[in-house]
Structure 1
Amino acid sequence: MTDKIHELLNFWFGHVGSADLPSSDRANLWFGDNEVVKQKLLQLFTQEFEQATNDKLAEWANTPRGRLALIILYDQFPRYIYRRSAQAFEFDQRALQLCIDGLDKKMDHSLTLIERVFFYMPLVHAESQQTQEQSIRLYQDLVSLSMSETTQMYQLFLAYAYAHFRVIKEFGRFPQRNKALGRACTAAELAFLKNS
């Protein structure tokens, strides 16, 4: 099991140098819409994703890096594999619970800063203002803890968190999800979607 955790995290983060900088191609993997990457994810980790969604990898949550791997399986993989469908958000609550429970246990403190970015990501994806506020505080901490050569990168992650926070503060939910989740848009949400 630990080999698979290592393989998954190595795939997700690539080579992370001493300055806590991930491989230069990671942004495209994390925030892109890449069919090649999607197929690679399916090829390498379909079994783990299915096991996780059937609660067969619960023991991974016992270690910080195992918990991070589970969070990535629940929070990131569905967004890649099921983009623009309700299934993309199906496991958000599981990811969020793992994150919050891990924060209570201070498991994030054992992770590198770049690993913590994705440990906290379920907070950014939550449709709750209180949870969003918590994400802002945690990403601010990452900026404060970062080395000078990585501060700009962590400021971008903080800006990403702020962008999500502002949407939740205004609408209480992410209008971008409405279509996939079968939710009707308000007039204000329609205007927001038209301009975004």
Structure 2
Amino acid sequence: MPQRAPEAVTPQDILEFWFPGALAKGDADDHAAFWRSRMQGGMDTALIGDWAEVTHAAARGAYDAWAADPRGRLALLLTLDQFPRSVWRDTPAAYGQDIKACRLVLEALENGHFEALDTPWERNFPLIVLSHCEGPDHLARMDLCVELADTMVAPAFPRYDHIYGDAGIQPRRVREIIRRFGRHPHRNAVLGRVSTPEEEDYIATGDFPHLRAPDAPA
């Protein structure tokens, strides 16, 4: 498939690409495969091959107007947070839109756009944005992520409790990293940051939350 033309892309195009229709069936295997691919680099080939120009356009602000409604905002968040991590993997640009995406999520929590999202798998991606963005309020945002993840299913989506009932596991893992270090140490080399001795020990383990098998989709 050729590169998607940035000027022709719609929010629905983004959402249909990112969220397979099979998720609506509630099959646990389908959901596990979905989270494994999204969180562990499984989308790199598709994003680099088909959506790189869209990712560049999003970073330039071409789709900012999408934030006017809940699903458009979700599509915008994906192009600012998830797409760059594949298209610009292992470069500082992978994190270049984190602050903007985080602000969009905080606004969504205030204006009702977050609550308007239809499914727990859609709601998880704004929480991932909050966990990705480094900054002085990071630990407070992780507390918020844990709180929101713990109420992800009940009472809004009881049908998916067997899949998302433990959605707070991953935010808690990330929260512990932020509590210990105040940042994501695995980014230090990419961002040219000097690691502390404790961070060096942690980095040497390679046991980073985003690389763990998705025993809970978060």
Q: Which has the higher contact order (CA 8 A, sep 6+)?
A: 2
Change (3 A) 1:2 1:157: farther
Which is worse superposed, 3-12 or 110-119? 3-12
Task: Kindly indicate whether residue 18 of structure 2 is the aligned counterpart of residue 32 of structure 1.
Answer: no
8 Å CA contact 2:153–2:161 kept in 1: the answer is yes
Q: TM-score, normalised by structure 1?
A: 0.88
What is the deviation of 1:85?
2.1
What SS does structure 1 have at the residue aligned with 2:24?
coil
Flag the 1:103–1:72 CA change in 2: closer, same or farther, 3 A: same
After TM superposition, the score normalised by the length of structure 2 is 0.79
- The 5-angstrom pairing of residues 115-154 of structure 1 reads 115-127=122-134, 128-145=138-155, 147=157, 150-154=160-164
Which residue identity is paired with 1:39? T
Letter in 1 for 2:94: A
Asked if 1:78 is matched to 2:84, the reply is yes
Distance verdict in 2 for CA 1:67–1:55, change over 3 Å: same
Q: Give 2:193's aligned residue.
A: 183
Please tell me whether the aligned partners of residues 14 and 22 of structure 1 are also in contact (alpha carbons under 8 angstroms). no
- Contact 1:84–1:180 (CA<8 Å) still a contact in 2? yes
Higher relative helix content: 1
SS of the residue aligned with 2:51?
helix
Report the aligned-residue RMSD.
2.4
1:103 has 2:113 as partner? no
Listed one character per residue, the Cα deviations across residues 30-52 of structure 1 (whole Å, up to 9, x for unaligned) are 12223xx3232234333332221
> C-alpha separation between the residues in 2 aligned to 1:21 and 1:98?
30
Structure 1: segments with no counterpart, 5+ residues: none
Cα separation, partners in 2 of 1:46 and 1:22, compared to 1, 3 Å:
farther
Bigger mean CA deviation after superposition, 16-25 or 149-158: 16-25
What is the count of residue pairs matched by the alignment?
194
- Deviation string, structure 1 residues 48-100 (Cα, Å, up to 9, x no partner): 32221111211100010000001011111111222222121111111101111
What percent of counterpart residues are identical?
26
In structure 2, give the amino acid aligned to 1:185: S
3-state secondary structure, aligned to 1:163: helix
Runs of 4+ in 1 over 6 A off after TM superposition: none
Moved more, 129-138 or 143-152: 143-152
| One-letter identity of the residue aligned with 1:119 | P
**DSSP 3-state at the match of 1:184:** coil
Corresponding residue number in structure 2 for 1:166: 176
Match of 1:87 in 2: 93
